[in-house]
Amino acid sequence: MESPPPAPASPAPPPSAPETTPRSAVASAGPSRLGWLDALRGLAALVVVFDHASYTFMADFRRELMPQFNTSRYGIMVFFLVSGYIIPASLERRGCVRTFWTGRFFRMYPMWAAAVTALLAVNLLGLARLPDLGGHSAATVAVAHVTMLQELLGTPSLLLTLWTLSYEMAFYLLVVALFTVNRHRQSAALAVTSAVLAAVSVAAQTVLRPSALSGTFGTGPSAAAAAIAMTVAVCCASAGSPVLRRFGGVLGGLLALVLVVLNGTVPTWEGLVILAVMFLGTVVYRAERQQISRRLAAGAAVVVIACAVGCAYRFGDGDHFTRRGWIAAFVLAVLTFGAALALRHRHIPRPLTALGTISYSVYLVHPVLLAVIDHTLGRQHRDSPALLAAFFLVLLPLCALTHRCIEAPSQAWGRRYALTRR
């Protein structure tokens, strides 16, 4: 999951939109320009790429490392913390839900569509193989992917990184819901509540089968219902009427909560921990902007960390999960975010900020390249650090190109579109 870089700044909200952040705070926030966040995204992207590429180039090393340190969870938890810091600030400094969704659409979908199209193309050319659709129809999988909620709708992700974007989208829906009912400042309470509910679900040994709702009502109907509800929620929340805005926001928030709690493929406790982590990122933002006290923020962080670690420990070890690996990754992700926050006023090396700028491309392009390599050349029987390094040397320039040719133009289109909708 990558936490996609924030949408570009857009014009001031129309008079009907609520103004919730003082202009001085807005001017000082500027999260899209904060180098320490770019550096975190760059670091997290590299770790996630290593995690996935290790299957192909470093399988022996991976088998030794994963039980001790889950690199995938480390990368995505860093991304989720960054997303939690950025996304609410992005919405609040605009003060307009319609502008927020416009920015998100032009920021996320063009590169997402390009990566999925590239995967379909190499599959047609016989250079890669699509993942097993699990018996679902192509139409159902397509609808689920268009919502970006496929991980929460019981369908497989075409790209192995897309599952985290489902939680990103759920977070966006929740943030908009809170904004429309004027409860967006309650970040600490939301982080603590999500973490405590995760702990309760583990203590009560609440075990839902993966994609429980889709299994009960059918994946196709569930995906169709979710797509309709999401469309209605986004359109209504973006409307000029205060009543419609609240209705759309609440509908989207309820959809996100139901899917995360009842229809994810990860255990219920981990889905709730993911939400808690993202809201913890928001807590840090509010404490830094002096919207809440640092003592409250520290207390919320302690509760979230304690509940997350306790949940993983109580959950125990399994075939694809080791408590030690998960806990080590989670704690180090929090410490990494904290260290970057403490050093935020220091000079950040330009290569790190540049890597953060292209991190969304890195996140989406590398699975396509790995799919081609696995299908054509096969996975290495012995660890090959040299081939892994060569993979990075090919990947990063390619991602710089996709950012320049796809991401940057799409953001410019989004800015122009927002201007026409003022």
What pLDDT sits at residue 319? 75
In this structure, what token pair is assigned to residue 54? 């290790």
Residue 24 has pLDDT above 50, yes or no: no
Per residue in 182-235, pLDDT (tens digit) is 998 899 999 999 999 999 999 888 778 888 999 999 999 999 999 999 999 999
Helices (H), 204-241: 212-217, 219-237
In this structure, what token pair is assigned to residue 421? 């909708």
Q: Per-residue pLDDT averaged across 98-112, rounded? A: 95
Centre a 10 Å sphere on the Cβ of residue 2 and count the other Cβ atoms it contains: 26
Residue 17 has pLDDT above 50, yes or no: no
Amino acid sitting at position 108: M
Give the DSSP per-residue string, 12-54: PPPTTS---S-HHHHHHH-GGG-HHHHHHHHHHHHHHHHHHHH
The contacts found for 412-415 with CB under 8 angstroms, 24 or more apart, are: 413/106, 414/7, 414/8, 414/10, 414/102, 414/103, 414/105, 414/106, 414/107, 415/8, 415/10
Q: How high does pLDDT run on average in the chain?
A: 89
Centre a 10 Å sphere on the Cβ of residue 317 and count the other Cβ atoms it contains: 12
What is the 3-state composition of the chain as percent helix, strand, coil, each rounded to the nearest 5?
75, 0, 25
Residue 354 has pLDDT above 70, yes or no: yes
Length of the chain: 422
Per residue in 38-66, pLDDT (tens digit) is 999 999 999 999 999 999 999 999 999 99
What pLDDT sits at residue 10? 34
CA distance 85 to 99: 19
Residue 347: what are its φ and ψ, rounded to 5°?
Answer: -70, 130
Question: Do residues 180 and 97 lie in contact, with contact meaning Cβ atoms separated by under 8 Å?
Answer: yes
In this structure, what token pair is assigned to residue 355? 């890597």
pLDDT: which is higher, 195 or 17: 195
Structural Rg of the chain based on CA atoms: 20
Q: Which of 311, 327, 273, 336 is nearest to 69 (CA)?
A: 327
Question: Do residues 353 and 5 lie in contact, with contact meaning Cβ atoms separated by under 8 Å?
Answer: no
Q: Per-residue pLDDT averaged across 342-360, rounded? A: 92
What pLDDT sits at residue 256? 97
CA distance 155 to 227: 13
Would you place residue 318 in the very low, low, confident or very high pLDDT band (cuts 50, 70, 90)? confident
Would you place residue 20 in the very low, low, confident or very high pLDDT band (cuts 50, 70, 90)? very low
Q: Which residues contact 314 (CB under 8 A, 6 or more apart)?
A: 202, 203
Q: Which residues pair with 321 in a beta bridge?
A: 318
What pLDDT sits at residue 21? 36
CA distance 369 to 373: 6
Q: Per-residue pLDDT averaged across 164-185, rounded? A: 95
What pLDDT sits at residue 206? 75
Per residue in 223-243, pLDDT (tens digit) is 999 999 999 999 999 998 999
What pLDDT sits at residue 421? 66
Percentage of the chain modeled with pLDDT above 90: 79
Question: Do residues 1 and 168 lie in contact, with contact meaning Cβ atoms separated by under 8 Å?
Answer: yes
What pLDDT sits at residue 326? 96
In this structure, what token pair is assigned to residue 373? 């390599």
What pLDDT sits at residue 191? 97
Per residue in 116-155, pLDDT (tens digit) is 999 999 999 999 999 998 889 999 999 999 999 999 999 9
